[in-house]
């Protein structure tokens, strides 16, 4: 197990190295940040001084190596635009996105999995058909539209929930969180619901497909022959048997929501990293873009590692180096 973790950590390091190089190169190709940062009527001397101060006069490979060198000492560089350390900028925004992403994935899982299991258990029932219709909608209706409708209905029409922003937060472990205050929670609900719709649809489909398959197996027949109630069979046998694909998708969805909740964050003016990256792209704020994308790679690698480790927890056949029969 330890060997497995070490191997995965080395892989993770390589992935992030490759990611940083790609991002550095890609961002370099987008355009020259100086054109955006300095007013066109600045003198040549001012231009040259600015270019030198950002280290943009060096060849690309030297800029990259310098970036890597600083990275190893934990320094992501300073934002061209704000002049503050990038890491502070990103970390100030990350908790907002983190709780939004987590809330949406949890809503998707806790509502989607039971609905999906039911739809797989009684596939011909009208309720199951209704559930599947919801999941088709969840897949096909665009996020931004649903977000606007949610705002229109719950914020404007009913005036139950705030239309945007993050609202009050409370500190926990040195970080500001919305879900810890009652009012903060009301700000979290709409964007989290908006983001969760796609995940909900995904969880429903996965749980349904798995359940349909498992219900036909002898394991379920044998459990029935032992007199187990249908609810016990679904909760104790079926849920465990279908959990591996569910956990996989849960992890992937959590990762991609963390990285790409941009649309929802924009609609609900949620001050998360998604908005930060969009702003940094428009202003060609290269250090922020690079740091953010490397961080995203890190999150994905970490989440995948956790998912892999949880497989062993869920399926005993994968433990002890996969001594399966």
Partner 1 sequence: MSLLEVRDLRTHFFTRAGVVKAVEGVSFSLAKGEILGLVGESGSGKSVTGFSLIGLVDPPGRIAGGSIRFEGRELVGLPAQEMRALRGKRIAMVFQDPAATLNPVLSIGQQMALAVRAHGRASEAAARDLAARTLTRVGIPDAAARLDAYPHEFSGGMRQRVAIATALLHGPDLIIADEPTTALDVSIQAQILAEMKSLAKETGTALVWISHDLATVSSLADRVLVMYAGRIVEAGAVGETLRAPRHPYTRGLLDSLPAMARPGEKLNQIPGTTPSLLSLPPGCPFAPRCPRADATCATDPPDVVTAGRLVRCHHPLEAS
The residue ranges that bind partner 1 (CB under 8 A) are 217-219, 221-229, 232, 236-237, 240-241, 243, 314-317, 323-325
CB of 242 to partner 1, least distance (A): 10
CB of 232 to partner 1, least distance (A): 7
Burial of 130-165, coded b for 16+ CB within 10 Å and e otherwise, reads: ebbebbeebeeeebeebbeebbeebbeeeeebbbbe
From the CB of residue 73, how many other CB atoms can be counted at a distance below 10 Å? 6
Structure tokens given for 282: 């428009």
Residue closer to partner 1 (CB basis): 117 or 134: 117
Residue closer to partner 1 (CB basis): 96 or 307: 307
Structure tokens given for 37: 């940062």
Q: Can you tell me the distance from the alpha carbon of 8 to that of 27, in angstroms, rounded to the nearest whole number? A: 28
User: Across-strand partners of 78?
Assistant: 85
CB of 225 to partner 1, least distance (A): 4
Q: Can you tell me the distance from the alpha carbon of 196 to that of 143, in angstroms, rounded to the nearest whole number? A: 10
Residue closer to partner 1 (CB basis): 119 or 241: 241
Residue closer to partner 1 (CB basis): 175 or 312: 312
Residue closer to partner 1 (CB basis): 156 or 226: 226
CB of 314 to partner 1, least distance (A): 7
Residue closer to partner 1 (CB basis): 117 or 195: 117
CA distances from 266 to 24, 81, 91, 146 (A): 26, 20, 18, 13
CB of 112 to partner 1, least distance (A): 21
Helix (H, G, I), strand (E, B), or coil: what is residue 27?
A: helix
Q: Can you tell me the distance from the alpha carbon of 91 to that of 109, in angstroms, rounded to the nearest whole number? A: 27
What's phi and psi for 122, nearest 5 deg?
Answer: -125, 70
Q: Can you tell me the distance from the alpha carbon of 68 to that of 75, in angstroms, rounded to the nearest whole number? A: 9
CB of 118 to partner 1, least distance (A): 17
CB of 243 to partner 1, least distance (A): 8
Residue closer to partner 1 (CB basis): 70 or 221: 221
Q: Can you tell me the distance from the alpha carbon of 199 to that of 104, in angstroms, rounded to the nearest whole number? A: 8
Residue 22 contacts by C-beta under 8 Å, 6 or more apart in sequence? none
Contact at 8 Å (CB) between 163 and 151?
yes
Residue closer to partner 1 (CB basis): 5 or 324: 324
């Amino acid at each position: 197990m330890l060997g497995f973790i070490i191997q995965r950590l080395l892989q993770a390091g390589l992935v992030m190295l490759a990611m940083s190089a790609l991002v550095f190169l890609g961002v370099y190709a987008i355009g020259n940040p100086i054109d955006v940062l300095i007013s066109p009527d600045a003198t040549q001397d001012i231009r040259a001084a600015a270019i030198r101060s950002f280290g943009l006069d060096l060849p690309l490979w030297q800029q990259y190596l310098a970036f890597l060198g600083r990275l190893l000492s934990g320094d992501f560089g300073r934002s061209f635009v704000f002049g503050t350390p990038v890491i502070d900028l990103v970390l100030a925004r990350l908790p907002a996105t983190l709780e939004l992403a987590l809330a949406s994935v949890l809503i998707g899982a806790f509502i989607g999995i039971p609905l999906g299991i039911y739809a797989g258990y009684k596939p011909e029932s009208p309720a199951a058909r209704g559930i599947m219709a919801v999941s088709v909608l969840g897949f096909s209706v665009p996020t931004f539209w649903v977000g606007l409708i949610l705002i229109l209905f719950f914020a404007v029409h009913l005036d139950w929930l705030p239309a945007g922003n993050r609202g009050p937060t409370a500190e926990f472990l040195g970080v500001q969180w919305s879900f810890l205050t009652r009012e903060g929670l009301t700000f979290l609900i709409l964007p989290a619901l908006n983001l969760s719709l796609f995940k909900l649809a995904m969880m429903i489909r996965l749980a349904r497909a798995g359940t349909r398959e498992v219900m036909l197996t002898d394991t379920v027949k044998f459990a029935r022959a032992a007199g187990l109630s249908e609810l016990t069979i679904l909760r104790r046998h079926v849920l465990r048997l279908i959990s591996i694909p569910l956990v996989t998708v849960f992890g992937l969805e959590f990762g991609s929501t963390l990285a790409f909740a941009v649309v929802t964050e924009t609609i609900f003016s949620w001050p998360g990293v998604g908005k930060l990256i969009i702003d940094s792209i428009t202003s060609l704020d290269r250090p922020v873009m690079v740091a953010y994308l490397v961080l995203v790679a890190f999150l994905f690698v970490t989440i995948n590692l956790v998912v892999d480790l949880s497989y062993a927890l869920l399926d005993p056949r994968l433990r002890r180096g996969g001594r399966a029969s």
